Amino acid sequence: MAFPESVPLALPCQRHLFEMPADICYLDAAAWSPLPRGVREAGEAGILVKSRPWDHPRAVVPAWAERARAAAARLIGAGADDIAIVGAVSHAMAVAAHNLTLRPGGRLLRVADEFPSLRFAFDRLAERQGLVVEEIPRPSDGDWTEAVAAAITRPGAAPLALATLTPLHWTDGSLIDLDRLAPLVHAAGAALVIDATQAVGAVPVSVARWRPDFLAFPTYKWTLGPYGLAFLYAAPHRQDGAAIEENVGNRPPAVGARRYDRGELYDPVALSMAVAGLELIAEWRVPAIAACLRGLTDRLAVGVAAFGLTPMPAALRAPHILGLRPPAGMPTDLVGRLHQDKVFVSERSGALRISPHVWANDDDLTRCIAALRAACQGVI
């Protein structure tokens, strides 16, 4: 995952922008981020448009949609015309699968234990078009990038038709380096679809580097926005396809990826919140956010290693998520016991997933490490 050559300015802790009590240690951004005060206030202002439409005409809302579209585009290095506004990443993936025609007998390649929104629509695509689904097993050394590269280029394998990939594994933050893998997919003549749910807003994402056919991300995780809103990037050669729902806004003369916009697009609450979150991320600058989060997860990694929880090497994990897989398996109700100590993390497929964002401070790290030490005592 490439970073600009210039070293980003240090980003200080932004906890003051959130309604987070001092005794709450919330390290679960990969599940659902809290809202900054400014995002909540934007949503409250949006409610007034619907609550008092005689005072706040809905004619102002289309401008919010275009502002959200442009802000989403800037975070991934795209143009506004390349972005559709959809209801969820699953909606985006259904659009992508609906608009891909692939060679029968080719391989559909993905990693094992992939998130459902990146499986279900493409399982149906594979059945419909006669593709062979190949799931790459979790590598014993944690190096997904090498495992995926070997699968793409494996001698004697059926031709690669489609790779559905993510920049990191959602369960534990294991790095899947698309800077290396995307060129291999393109060299094989295959299509590339990217679920960037666990990347956009936390680490640099570039459609110019990866050249995906489609890429999608939601607003409710790392971009600090509302639930029920997502963005779909469609490459220029994929913008003349068919929407999975027809509405007055996505029919001609709709331009570019707007062809895939959802119905009931002009939600004054969700759009205003999304704009506030996306523009806040842009103001902080994603490389600075990534550097900040790398510092937090690296310090957590050192702290938990002291009592036997050995994380993957930094080179094999994304900056913003620390995944821990206890050698004897996950202690019973570990997440529940941590919640009792007001330390909030997640368990995903046998991994303890710790995902701080810009609100996390030194006290959070200390409390998390202490709570884990106590909870794991005698069982690892």
Q: What is the pTM of this model?
A: 0.96
Confidence band of 9 (pLDDT split at 50, 70, 90): low
d(CA 276, CA 68): 9
What's the pLDDT at 327? 82
What's the pLDDT at 326? 86
Give the contacts of 244 (CB within 8 A, at least 6 positions apart). Answer: 91, 94, 95, 98, 260
Confidence band of 6 (pLDDT split at 50, 70, 90): very low
Mean pLDDT of 99-113: 97
Would you say residue 300 has pLDDT above 90?
Answer: yes
Mean pLDDT of 159-174: 98
Average per-residue pLDDT in the chain? 95
Q: Cβ(319)–Cβ(289) under 8 Å?
A: no
Mean pLDDT of 146-175: 98
Would you say residue 1 has pLDDT above 50?
Answer: no
Q: Encoding tokens for residue 242? A: 């068919």
Mean pLDDT of 245-256: 94
What's the pLDDT at 379? 67
Would you say residue 74 has pLDDT above 70?
Answer: yes
- Nearest residue to 203 via CA among 129, 292, 266, 275: 292
pLDDT per residue over 54-66, tens digit each?
998 889 999 999 9
Confidence band of 330 (pLDDT split at 50, 70, 90): confident
pLDDT per residue over 28-47, tens digit each?
999 999 999 999 999 999 99
What's the pLDDT at 3? 38
**57, burial (CB in 10 Å: exposed 0-12, middle 13-18, buried 19+):** exposed
Q: For a pLDDT cut of 90, what percent of the chain falls above it? A: 92
- Alpha-carbon distances, residue 350 vs 87, 107, 207, 250, 300 (angstroms): 29, 28, 32, 42, 19
